[in-house]
Amino acid sequence: MSPLELVAAALGVLAVWLTVRQNPWCWPIGLIMVLMYSWIFFEVKLYSDMLLQLVYAVLQLYGWWQWTRGGRQHDGREVSRLGSAPLGLGLLAGAAGSLLLGYGMATWTDAAAPWLDAALTAFSLVAQFWMAQKRVECWLLWIVVDVLFVLLFLDKALYLTAALYGLFTLLAVQGWRSWRRDLEPTTA
């Protein structure tokens, strides 16, 4: 465990905790975290995860904009559900991305876990995109992805990062519950 991993993990917890609470500061804090993790993953040859962090950097900016200026009134998005078509399209994009990235990593790199890492990368991008749009389903996808990331990071002896993703799983469960409550109609 390096000091860089320790700081990145702490920022990750803070960013996800703020996300659960729908605080837009989750995005700039998340931006710093993902840039730090891109270097960490480069050092342990998890190239798909490294690339994922760089794409996350762009998605952090997109999410910050969506949460503060997106939506119909340009005053930020509200929590909403995905329809069947966008849900299916997102899952299909994740599967296609998994196959394409997995093939590339297995063929042209010395990636440590090319197929699993690629699948987690592709579906993380889907979950992150849904999160930026405040779609409640993002949390269910995060739960699955985070559990699998825990197993991958344990295998790579990134114990603090595995613990972080375990905590992310718990926060995703809390996010699912919290955001679902925001969807329920209020009674006056």
pLDDT for residue 66 is more than 60:
yes
What's residue 9's pLDDT?
86
Average pLDDT, the chain: 91
pLDDT tens-digit profile of 5-32? 889 989 989 999 999 999 999 999 999 9
> What gap in Å lies between CA 43 and CA 38, rounded to an integer?
9
State the pLDDT confidence band at 63, using cuts at 50, 70 and 90: very high
pTM of structure = 0.85
Mean pLDDT value across residues 70-92: 89
pLDDT tens-digit profile of 166-183? 999 999 999 999 999 988
Q: Is 62 left (phi over 0), alpha (psi -120 to 50) or beta?
A: alpha
> What gap in Å lies between CA 188 and CA 81, rounded to an integer?
23
